[in-house]
Amino acid sequence: MRRLLTLVLAVLVLAGPLSAVKASRQADTLPKVDLVMWHKEDANTMKSLGIQDTFDKWAKENAPGSTLTLVNKDVEALRTEFQAAALAGSGGPDIMWTVADHVGPFTTAGLIQPVDKIVDTKLFIPTIVDITKVDGKTYGIPLSAGNHLMLFYNKKYVKEAPQTFDDLVKLADQLKKDNASNDKFVPFAYNQGESFWVFPVAHGFGSSEFEKDGKTPALDNAGWVKTYQLLHDLKYTNKVEPTECDYNCADGGFKDGNIAMVLNGDWALGGDTGYVKVLGDNLGIAAWPSVGAEAGKNVPAPFVAGTFLMFPTSLSGDKLAVASAFAKFLTTDKETVLGYTAKNGRLPALLTALQDESVAKDPILSATGKVLVTGVAQPVQPEMRCAFDGVTTSIKLVMSDATYTAEAAAKDAQKSAADCVAKLK
């Protein structure tokens, strides 16, 4: 399993002078067009990132009269609705602001176009940009690096992050006693029904998603059985988490101060309703607790990717010209990139921005960066969707039925994923 040490090495090697990328006024103003961007952020977050204002100011100078309409879509809805719209030939977006794992299904169906001619991909963190490469072509322009899950904790309750899950359970027991008067208090929470939160644990136990060929699912080995058993025990035996908890439960409870520790991603940090603003100095950030008995070993490795701009194959003509020019400005103008990344608790994927002093001196970014290098590059091949779906089905059963065994969960996830991969051939 390849960890993202190459990311750090790339930054160090390329830390020398790089030619500054400056946005310049088009020699000839671009045509007037109306663009639609589907994005995975919530409306408040997108507002805090300032993307609408950024486009409006850019368009005033470079493409007078052009508009950009931002449409929020849940990550899964963005995938399924874009596929449906693309196949129907209408109603879809002109630009997508989304996650790396969409590259697999989108390229397999021929729904998105390469971006190599839009930007110089050498301007970005190599490991991040390489995630969206398929058969030598790049299909996503990096906006930020990360998208990785971390342990966030409220320093009001937790002074130091637990180093192992055994430590977490002991701490949780004490927290329950200390906060017994608050009937809403829960020591620990995460999104119980999504496989994105399960894979890091399996990595900690030494398991992966696939066999060496990168296509055959490997979801039923001993590491996966241990993964489901650990998650089962945290809920039913240790009772350190809510009886039921989806993303909104974990995220909202942490913001409200009723959950002491939560596993969530870097996307939860920024904005007016993000953890940095809501918790202030009480926010703690750490790597996942070890699944073993020794701190620093067998640490779960979250998937790492980031956010990317992608373009439908149907985008052409004037719309493609304007969308491409804006995308280049948005992702390669250093000050603009720092505005929607560093200032919002996100790590920039643009190397010149990542090397900026403001990133190195930022306590939030330095903390998230330390967790970033514990992660592994997220696979984007089409088979990964099968792995995600198979594990999601099993973890939902684990979380809803105390009698459903870890062995059954691993076996069922393997069969589901294998059946899915077989249909891709």
Q: pLDDT band for position 4 (50/70/90)?
A: very low
Q: What is the largest CA-CA distance in the chain?
A: 68
Least confident window among 2-16, 202-216, 356-370, 376-390: 2-16
Question: What domains can you pick out in the chain, each with its CATH number?
Answer: 5-147+304-377 (3.40.190.10), 156-303+379-424 (3.40.190.10)
Is 349 within 8 Å of 277 (Cβ atoms)? no
Q: pLDDT band for position 380 (50/70/90)?
A: confident
Q: pLDDT band for position 271 (50/70/90)?
A: confident
Smallest Cα–Cα separation from 284: which of 293, 275, 292? Answer: 275
Query: Which residues have CB under 8 Å from 368's CB, separation 6+?
Result: 146, 148, 150, 266, 269, 285, 345, 347
Q: pLDDT band for position 16 (50/70/90)?
A: very low
Q: Which residue has the tokens 């929470």?
A: 189
- pLDDT averaged over the chain? 92
Q: What is the pTM of this model?
A: 0.79
What pLDDT is recorded for position 82? 97
What pLDDT is recorded for position 90? 87
What pLDDT is recorded for position 355? 92
What pLDDT is recorded for position 93? 98
Query: Which residues have CB under 8 Å from 176's CB, separation 6+?
Result: 185, 187, 240
